[in-house]
Amino acid sequence: MARRVIFHVDVNSAFLSWSAAYRIKVLGQTEDLREIPSVVAGDRESRHSIILAKSVPAKKYGIRTGEPLFQALEKCPELKVIEPDYELYVEASRHFVALLRQFSPVVEQYSIDEAWVDMTGTQRLWGPPRLAAEQMRRQIMEELGFTVNVGISSNKLLAKMAGDFEKPNKIHTLFPEEVEEKFWPLPVRDLFLVGPATEEKLKLLGIRTIGQLAQADVAMLKKRLGKHGETIWHFANGRNADAVTPEPTENKGYGNATTTARNVVSREEGQQVLLSLCETVAMRMRRDGKCGSCVSIHLRTDQFRHFSHQKMLHGATNITTELFSAACQLFDEAWDGMPPLRQLGVQVTRLSREPYQQFDLFCGMTPGQFERKLRLDETVDILRDKYGEDIICRGRFIRTSQSHMAGGLSRFRRTGVTKPVPEK
C-alpha cells in the first residue's frame, strides 16, 4: 500500500504578496512591494491601522504583524502602507486553489491562504514528493506571481507543522521518522492548537517543548487540561488521522466586517454601520446571482470580546433592506448598549441561485413589493457600476462620517475607477 503523502501549501505574506502581484501583473507597476519596507494596513487615520501583512525588508525593522501602524511608522518612517483589498484576496485565493487542483483533485482549503493537498498515488505524474513540491512552487510563482511554503508529510498535522519551519519560499518534510529530530525540540507554543493559555498551563507542569509534551503522562494531561490535553498529546507525537476533505469551489457565504473609527455606543450608530455592510454584501450577492436565507452578525467589543447571532429568513433574498432588517433584529437581540463595540460584521449563508419568499403574515411583503425592491436594488447597482459608488446613497448617511458602503472591498476596485486612489 502506498504511503500517504500530504502537502500543506501556505502563501507567504499573502495579503502583501497578492497586492504586489496585482500591481505588477495587472496595473503594470514596476515597484515590487515585497522588495521594499511595506505593509498592508488600514487607514492610518482610523483604528483600522493594524499591520495585516509585512514584507521581509519591513520585518528587518522589527515590524510585526498585528502591531499598530503608528508603532511600525516609528520604526520605519519611510514605510510604504497600502490598504487591504479583500475582494482581490478572495479572487487570488480562488486562483491559488484552482492551481493546486491541477496537481491533485483532493484539495482542502484551510484558510484564505493555505490548503492541504493529498498527493498520494501521484508519483507517476509528478515524481517524488520534493520534486512535485518544487514544480508546484515554481508554477504558482510563474502563473500567479507569488511564493509559497510547502510542508510535506504523511498526515495533515505534520505537513502543516513542516510548512512553518522556515519562511519564505521553502519546502520542508516532516515524516514520522523525522519527528524526534525536527519536531520535538520546538517550543510547545509552536504546536498546533496550543494557545497562550494552554502554554502557561503546560509550563506550570514543567512542559516547555513539544518533546516533553509527547513524553508526558497522557492521563495527567487529560486530568489537568480535559479532552484538549489528550488531543495535543497525540499531536505532539505526530498522530493525526484526519483525511484531506475536498471543499466545494463555490462560495458558502458572503460577508463583510468593519472596525469603526470610534466606539459604537448607541443603537442608531450600530444600525448605520450594519446598513453600510449590508449594502456591500447584497451588491456582491446580486453580482454573482446568489441569494441567502440565513443572516448572521458578528460583534467585537472594545475589550476584544467577540460574539455572534444568526437567524433564518422566510425565504432566500439578496435585497439590501431585507438583509438589513434581519441584521437589525439580531443586533437588538445580541447587544443592549454595553459594552461599546469596535467591530461589526454581517454574513449571509445558505445560498441559492434564485430568490424565493413565503408570502404570508410573517413575510410582511406582497409579491409586487418584493419585485419592486429587487428592481430598485438592481438599478442602483447599474448606476454605481457606471458612475462610481458615491453617485447614490441612502438618506441616513447624509452629513455623517460613516461610509455608506463599508467593509473589506477596496474602494478603488469597487468603484471601477481606472486609476488607483493615491496612497497616503
- Contacts of residue 373, defined as CB under 8 A and 6 or more positions apart, other chains included, come to 319, 321, 322, 365
Residues 267 and 232 in one domain: no
| Residue 166 lies inside a defined structural domain of this protein | no
Residues 360 and 399 in one domain: yes
Helix (H) or strand (E) segment spanning residue 58:
helix 56-59
Q: What is the pLDDT of residue 422?
A: 36
| Residue 161 lies inside a defined structural domain of this protein | no
Residues 202 and 270 in one domain: no
Q: What is the pLDDT of residue 251?
A: 59
Q: What is the residue-wise DSSP string for 110-155?
A: EETTEEEEE-TT-HHHH-SHHHHHHHHHHHHHHHH---EEEEEESS
Q: What is the pLDDT of residue 74?
A: 92
The three cell numbers locating residue 180: 524526534
Q: What is the pLDDT of residue 187?
A: 95
Q: What is the pLDDT of residue 9?
A: 97
| Residue 167 lies inside a defined structural domain of this protein | no
* Last residue within a domain, chosen from 38, 58, 84: 84
Strand order in the sheet with 53-54: 53-54, 38-40, 80-82
Q: Which residue has the higher pLDDT, 191 or 394?
A: 191
Q: What percent of the chain has pLDDT over 70?
A: 88
Residues 126-163 pLDDT 10s? 999 999 999 999 999 999 999 999 999 999 999 999 99
Residues 326 and 215 in one domain: no
CATH code of the domain covering residue 192? 1.10.150.20
Active-site annotation holds for 108 = no
Q: How would residue 43 be classed by pLDDT, with cut points 50, 70 and 90?
A: low
Q: What is the pLDDT of residue 421?
A: 36
Residues 199 and 274 in one domain: no
Q: Is the pLDDT of residue 409 over 60?
A: no
Q: Is the pLDDT of residue 88 over 80?
A: yes
Q: How would residue 408 be classed by pLDDT, with cut points 50, 70 and 90?
A: low
Q: What is the mean pLDDT of residues 182-211?
A: 92
Q: What is the mean pLDDT of residues 37-51?
A: 75
Residues 213 and 355 in one domain: no
Q: What is the pLDDT of residue 365?
A: 56
Q: How would residue 354 be classed by pLDDT, with cut points 50, 70 and 90?
A: low
Residues 297-333 pLDDT 10s? 988 887 767 778 888 888 888 899 899 999 999 998 8
Q: How would residue 46 be classed by pLDDT, with cut points 50, 70 and 90?
A: low
- Rounded Cα distance between 248 and 295, Å, is 21
Q: What is the mean pLDDT of residues 10-35?
A: 93
* Last residue within a domain, chosen from 170, 201, 236: 236
Peptide bond before residue 168 is cis, with ω within 30 degrees of 0:
yes
Q: What is the pLDDT of residue 63?
A: 93
Q: Is the pLDDT of residue 411 over 60?
A: no
Pairing state of beta strands 291-301 and 341-352?
antiparallel
Q: Is the pLDDT of residue 420 over 70?
A: no
- Reduced to 3 states, what is the DSSP secondary structure of residue 192? coil
| Residue 169 lies inside a defined structural domain of this protein | no
Q: What is the mean pLDDT of residues 50-70?
A: 89
Residues 259 and 394 in one domain: yes
Residues 222 and 259 in one domain: no
* Last residue within a domain, chosen from 84, 103, 131: 84
Query: If you average pLDDT over every residue of the chain, what do you get?
Result: 85
| Residue 292 lies inside a defined structural domain of this protein | yes
Residues 66 and 40 in one domain: yes
Rg of the chain over all Cα atoms, to the nearest angstrom? 24
Residues 190 and 52 in one domain: no
| Residue 403 lies inside a defined structural domain of this protein | yes
CATH code of the domain covering residue 334? 3.30.1490.100
Residues 262 and 355 in one domain: yes
Claim: this prediction has a pTM higher than 0.85:
no
Residues 276 and 411 in one domain: yes
How many CB atoms within 10 Å of residue 62?
11
| Residue 331 lies inside a defined structural domain of this protein | yes
Residues 248-266 pLDDT 10s? 545 578 888 887 777 888 8
**Which of 114, 269, 279, 322 is an active site residue?**
114
Number of structural domains found in the chain: 3
| Residue 109 lies inside a defined structural domain of this protein | no
Pairing state of beta strands 306-317 and 291-301?
antiparallel
Q: Is the pLDDT of residue 31 over 60?
A: yes
The three cell numbers locating residue 261: 473609527
Q: What is the pLDDT of residue 415?
A: 41
- Rounded Cα distance between 91 and 93, Å, is 5
Range of the domain at 75: 15-84
